[in-house]
Amino acid sequence: MTDILFFKPFFSHTIWGGTRLREDFGYDEPGEDLGECWGISGHPSGMCYVKGGEYDGRSLADLWQNEPRLFGRTRTDGDTGKGSPFPLLIKIIDAKSDLSIQVHPDDEYARVHENGSLGKTECWYILDCPEDGKLVVGHNASSREELASMIENGRWSELIREVPVKRGDFIQIDPGTMHAIKGGVMLLETQQSSDITYRVYDYDRLQNGKPRQLHIRQSIDVMTVPAAAPEESVQHFGVATECGLQQLYRCGYYTVYRGVVKESESGVLRIRREHPFLNLSVIDGSGTVEGKPVKKGDHMILTAAKDEYTLGGDMEVILSGI
Ligand code: ZN
């Protein structure tokens, strides 16, 4: 069985994107408005296709449905019938300018109001940011009435809660959390495979001469009030220096790890696959996975074929499993 599935990413061009996905990550994609690289995705809005090997050219959604053994599944698994999508989506995001202030629904709200879609729980690992880098995480309204009134009256500076961030920070964004990536921040996002976003405020920007759609009613419906304390969302892991594997977060949808390998100092990094499969994205440096060369910007799935995977070289990776 194939042990590693390499993917050709999907790129999203956005009004807030820039050029760093090409300049820093080496992706061969033109444009001055590159916002998102979807590195591992089975979502119809931005499908990833296998690059090389036995499954060359096939989509992740196709493999998930038709080659379940790669993902440690059998066709009789309870939740794996047709319509159960590949569960996670891995993106690298370059915010040249601020993203809209937004919130996502949970599974139950999305199922009822968004035609059976999944809700969206997501998390961010900060790859790079300015000295005074910030994100919007949460808000300052104390009741739903106050939230509605602050939104209706455009009291954004009072409502929005900004938190400082640094490289190596990890931020969990549960459904119902008001959030936005601010300009200058580059991050890796691990999320449920969902595209449901309720936009609360877009800084009155225009795209092709028109404001982008807002979803005020849904936002007020799904927002958690009052917001959780920032310490509950943001963890500071610092820049990785030690060789090894470190768990960053675990929730019902995913477990996320950071792996560092420095062959020159401490040899190889062996990873036991404690999940049916693992998503792996190289975020810095270069090296090997099971002897195959990989570099910054590469995305792959370590399949159920092996119980242990060996990484060599000098690189930093983010892994996730269900
Ligand atoms: Zn989001």
Whether the Cβ atoms of residue 249 and residue 123 lie closer than 8 Å to each other: yes
Per-residue pLDDT band for 255 (boundaries 50, 70, 90) equals very high
Per-residue pLDDT band for 103 (boundaries 50, 70, 90) equals very high
In the predicted model, is pLDDT for residue 82 greater than 60? no
Please tell me the predicted confidence (pLDDT) of residue 76. 57
Decide which of 131 and 207 is more confident.
131
Of 73-82, 85-94, 277-286, which range is least confident? 73-82
Q: What is the mean pLDDT of the chain?
A: 94
Looking at the structure, tell me whether residues 153 and 79 fall in a common domain: yes
End residue of a domain, out of 236, 252, 269 = 236
What is the 106 CA–ligand 1 centroid distance (Å)?
12
Looking at the structure, tell me whether residues 230 and 317 fall in a common domain: no
The position carrying tokens 């379940």 is 68
* Cα 201 from Cα 195, distance rounded (Å): 18
Looking at the structure, tell me whether residues 49 and 165 fall in a common domain: yes
What is the 98 CA–ligand 1 centroid distance (Å)?
13
The position carrying tokens 């979807």 is 38
Here the CATH number for the domain that contains residue 124 is 2.60.120.10
Q: pLDDT > 90: what percent of the chain?
A: 86
Decide which of 253 and 241 is more confident.
253
pLDDT tens, residue by residue, 17-57: 999 999 999 999 999 999 999 999 999 999 999 999 999 99
The position carrying tokens 């790079």 is 128
In the predicted model, is pLDDT for residue 78 greater than 70? no
What is the 104 CA–ligand 1 centroid distance (Å)?
6
What is the 21 CA–ligand 1 centroid distance (Å)?
19
Looking at the structure, tell me whether residues 213 and 313 fall in a common domain: no
Looking at the structure, tell me whether residues 12 and 97 fall in a common domain: yes
The position carrying tokens 């795209």 is 207
Closest CA to 255 of 111, 87, 108: 87
Looking at the structure, tell me whether residues 122 and 215 fall in a common domain: yes
Please tell me the predicted confidence (pLDDT) of residue 207. 84
Task: Provide the token pair at 48.
Answer: 């990833």
Q: How many domains does the chain have?
A: 2
Looking at the structure, tell me whether residues 215 and 274 fall in a common domain: no
3-state secondary structure of 216: helix
pLDDT tens, residue by residue, 288-320: 999 999 999 999 999 999 999 999 999 999 999
What is the 175 CA–ligand 1 centroid distance (Å)?
9
In the predicted model, is pLDDT for residue 83 greater than 70? no
End residue of a domain, out of 236, 265, 295 = 236
* Cα 303 from Cα 247, distance rounded (Å): 20
What are the residue numbers of the active site?
199
Looking at the structure, tell me whether residues 33 and 74 fall in a common domain: yes
Per-residue pLDDT band for 80 (boundaries 50, 70, 90) equals very low
Q: What's the chain's Rg over C-alpha atoms?
A: 20
The position carrying tokens 């028109």 is 210
Looking at the structure, tell me whether residues 140 and 254 fall in a common domain: no
What pairs with residue 285 in β-bridges?
A: 315
Strands 49-50 and 4-8, sheet pairing: antiparallel
Looking at the structure, tell me whether residues 195 and 257 fall in a common domain: no
Task: Provide the token pair at 255.
Answer: 């477990």
Please tell me the predicted confidence (pLDDT) of residue 68. 93
Please tell me the predicted confidence (pLDDT) of residue 141. 97
* Cα 148 from Cα 219, distance rounded (Å): 9
Q: pLDDT > 70: what percent of the chain?
A: 97
Whether the Cβ atoms of residue 201 and residue 101 lie closer than 8 Å to each other: yes
Closest CA to 139 of 105, 173, 109: 173
End residue of a domain, out of 236, 252, 267 = 236
In the predicted model, is pLDDT for residue 233 greater than 80? yes
Q: Domain residues for 284?
A: 244-321
Looking at the structure, tell me whether residues 203 and 280 fall in a common domain: no
What is the 134 CA–ligand 1 centroid distance (Å)?
15
Looking at the structure, tell me whether residues 28 and 126 fall in a common domain: yes
Please tell me the predicted confidence (pLDDT) of residue 107. 92
Of 26-30, 156-160, 204-208, 242-246, which range is least confident? 204-208
